[in-house]
Amino acid sequence: MVMEEIKFGFEQLELWKKVREFKNEVSKETRKWPAEEKFKLIPQIIRSSRSINAFLAEGQDLHFLISFIFVSSLEVHSLRL
């Protein structure tokens, strides 16, 4: 049985794709930094670059939720008429 890859709406956003590339570049660049930064600045920078995609995904979910609530409220209102 072959598992299909699940696609989410935010993965189709061009901004999400560019931020993913940016995240990979940040990771590559921080490998060149001095060893003394390994446990200080590097983890903070990597986490912050990863958080951008997380915020975009959450925003897309919120947009879906708001749309769903709006449409649901319209349906409920039309049933009352």
- Per residue in 16-54, pLDDT (tens digit) is 788 889 999 999 999 999 988 888 888 988 888 888 888
> pLDDT at residue 12 above 70?
yes
Report residue 1 as tokens. Answer: 């049985």
Report residue 42 as tokens. Answer: 């590097």
Torsions phi, psi of 20, nearest 5?
Answer: -65, -45
Please name the amino acid found at residue 68.
Answer: F
pLDDT digits (tens, 9 = 90+) for 53-76: 888 777 766 666 666 566 566 555
> pLDDT at residue 11 above 90?
no
Q: Are 52 and 23 in contact (CB under 8 A)?
A: yes
> pLDDT at residue 79 above 60?
no
> pLDDT at residue 80 above 70?
no
The residues spanned by each domain of the chain are: 14-80
Dihedral Cα 67, 73, 75, 76, nearest 10 deg: 160
